[in-house]
Amino acid sequence: MRRQMGGFTLIELILVMAIIGILSVIGIGSFTQATVKSKDTQRKNDLNQIAKALELYYNDAGSYPSSNGSGQIMCSSTSAPDTCSSPAACTTKFTYCFNGKSTIYLDKLPVDADNARKYYYKPDASLSSFAYYTSLENLEDKDVVVISGTTTKTDWASDGADCGSSPCNYKITETGLIKAK
């Protein structure tokens, strides 16, 4: 009498591998989407943090800081006792010098984690208002700018803002988030 060996048939193995493959694809897709949403949340938080620092600056100076024309805030610090340095683009922290005394508004100026994207600062000519721009990856985000009265997604390119490799589609001002164009 022939004894039967225990084990799995080829069909059973293929079926199990197919199920594992389907579950893996679903899991990777969800993980990727969660990562994109997380980066966008960080971008929004960064711009809100910068906007609060700009408001502190406004309270001290009576105006918003100027820009270097490339979307960077202009900063100055104390170069010698009671002497302010000439304004230059802020690269690491947001400081400004008034009457020889340097004030730190942000100890670490946030930058986009994606090196191809950047935040863009644009004050108006009188330095009485500002706009800060970024590019969100998730185009389905409720805060991505739309053409007013429609659901058509657009960007802030007409404002002259440059957010790097992707168009600026998120804007915050001294009055808060701007969602329609």
27-70 per-position pLDDT tens digit: 787 777 888 999 999 999 999 999 999 999 999 989 999 999 89
Domain-located, residue 91: no
Domain-located, residue 27: no
- What's the pLDDT score for residue 68? 92
Domain extent, residue 173, equals 39-71+112-178
Contact 122/107 with Cβ under 8 angstroms? Answer: no
Domain-located, residue 23: no
Mean pLDDT of 145-173: 79
Helical (H) or strand (E) element with 34: helix 10-61
- pLDDT exceeds cutoff 90 at 159: no
80-114 per-position pLDDT tens digit: 777 788 888 888 889 888 888 888 999 989 999 88
Residue 123, judged by CB atoms within 10 A of its CB (0-12, 13-18, 19+), counts as buried
Domain-located, residue 98: no
Residue 61, both tokens:
């100076």
- pLDDT exceeds cutoff 80 at 151: no
Report helix, strand or coil for 127: coil
Domain-located, residue 125: yes
Cα atoms found within 13 Å of the Cα of residue 50, Cβ hemisphere only:
31
16-29 per-position pLDDT tens digit: 999 998 888 887 87
- What's the pLDDT score for residue 149? 61
Mean pLDDT of 125-152: 84
Total domains in the fold of the chain: 1
Distance CA 23, CA 12 (A): 17
Mean pLDDT of 3-14: 80
Domain-located, residue 56: yes
Domain-located, residue 140: yes
- What's the pLDDT score for residue 30? 76
Distance CA 43, CA 27 (A): 25
Domain-located, residue 65: yes
Residue 39, both tokens:
């980066």
Handedness of CA 162, 166, 169, 174 (dihedral sign): negative
pTM of the model: 0.79
